[in-house]
Amino acid sequence: MRARALAAALFLAALAPARASQEVLLLVTATAGYRHESIPAAVRALTELAEPLGLMPRRLEGPTPLPALDLRDVRVVALVHTTGTFLAPEARAALAAFVHAGGGLFAVHAAADAHYEDPLWRDLVGAWFLSHPPGLQTTVVRFAEELPGFAALGGGRRWVVTDELYDFRDNPRGRVRVIATVDETTYAGGRMGADHPIAWCHEPGRGRSWYTGLGHRPELWDDPVFREHLGRGLAWVARRGATC
C-alpha cells in the first residue's frame, strides 16, 4: 500500500507543471571607496520598480573586494553606487561573462567610479568617472528625441534637475546609445563641453547594459521623472519591453 501511494504521488508530481524560479534583481551595494547616503533610498526605489517587472530583489553587501557573485536565477545585476575595487578579479570576470552571455547590467551614478585598474570595466559600464563640480548644481537634462516623451513631464523630454553632475574621462558617444545629456551652459564647472552625455545604454555581446550618472541626492529617488527614467532602463535590461 505504501509503495503504491508513493508511486501515485510521484506520478501526480510528474504531471504538475514545473514551477520556474523567479528571476532575481541582484542589488549590489558594496563599496570600496566613497559611500553614498542615497543607497537606502536607491534600494527602496529599485525594489518598488522591480515588482511590476516580476523581478525579485536580492541585496548583496559585504567586505570588499567581494570574492564571488552568485548569479543563479539572476536576470539583472544592479550596481547601486558601487565604488572603488569592490569586486575581486574572479567576481569581475563572472559579471562580464554573465552580461556577454545575455544578462542585464543596470548601473547607477558611482558605478562609473570603479575598477580603474581594469580596462574592461569601462567597456562594461560605458565610461569612467573623471570629476564633478563642487556641491550640487541645477541643470537641464535633455532626453533623446527618439525616446517616447515622459508622462511625468507631460510628454516632454526636457527636465530641470538638481544633482551632483559627473564628468567622464571620455565621451562615450560612438560606443553607446546616448539617452540623456546635460546642458553645461546652465551650471558652473562642467568639463565635457557642448556634448555631455549623462545616461546611455549599449549591448555588450548578447547582453544589455544601462547607465545613468544621476542619483546622488537621496530625494531624487522619489522624483517621478527619475523614477520613470529608472523604470524604463530596468525594463529594458530585464527584457520586459520598453526602449532604453
pLDDT digits (tens, 9 = 90+) for 17-71: 333 468 999 999 999 999 999 999 999 999 999 999 999 999 999 899 999 999 9
Residue 137 C-alpha cell reads as 548644481
Task: State whether the Cα torsion 229-234-235-239 is positive or negative.
Answer: positive
> How many CA atoms, within 13 angstroms, populate the side-chain half-sphere of residue 138?
1
Q: What is the pLDDT of residue 20?
A: 44
pTM: 0.91
Q: Is 95 within a domain?
A: yes
Distance in angstroms (rounded) separating the CA atoms of residues 106 and 6: 47
CATH number of the domain within which 73 lies: 3.40.50.880
Distance in angstroms (rounded) separating the CA atoms of residues 100 and 94: 10
Host domain of residue 137: 21-237
Q: Is 161 within a domain?
A: yes
Q: Is 5 within a domain?
A: no
pLDDT tops 60 at residue 196: yes
Please give the tally of structural domains in the chain.
Answer: 1
Q: What Rg do the C-alpha atoms of the chain give, in angstroms?
A: 20
- pLDDT tens digits, residue range 150-180? 999 999 999 999 999 999 999 999 999 999 9
Residue 54 C-alpha cell reads as 516580476
